[in-house]
């Protein structure tokens, strides 16, 4: 299991790789400003969706990305 320090370091590395240093810092500032409950968001994220509907959405996104 990774330590908290390792997870933070890897998260920062991935953020900077994906967003660049400036936008990674902007993202962190945005997250710190907002009252964001990640656990609640995850619980509500797929409400009303079925495995079938999510699979359909995934197929559509894949189709669009191949065009």
Query: pLDDT tens per residue, the chain (67 residues)?
Result: 999 999 999 999 999 999 999 999 999 888 888 787 888 988 898 899 999 999 999 999 999 988 7
0.75 exceeded by the pTM?
Answer: no
Rounded Cα gap, residues 67 and 65, in angstroms: 6
Rounded Cα gap, residues 21 and 40, in angstroms: 28
Counting the structural domains of the chain, the total is 1
DSSP label at 67? Answer: -
Measured in degrees and rounded to the nearest 5, phi and psi for residue 20 equal 90, 160
The domain containing residue 45 runs over which residues?
Answer: 4-66
Rounded Cα gap, residues 60 and 54, in angstroms: 10
């Amino acid at each position: 299991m990774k330590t908290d320090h390792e997870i933070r370091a890897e998260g920062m590395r991935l953020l900077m790789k994906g967003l660049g240093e400036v936008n990674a810092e902007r993202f962190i500032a945005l997250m710190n400003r907002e009252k964001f409950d990640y656990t609640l968001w995850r619980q509500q994220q797929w409400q009303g969706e079925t495995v079938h509907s999510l699979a359909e959405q995934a197929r559509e996104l894949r189709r669009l990305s191949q065009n």
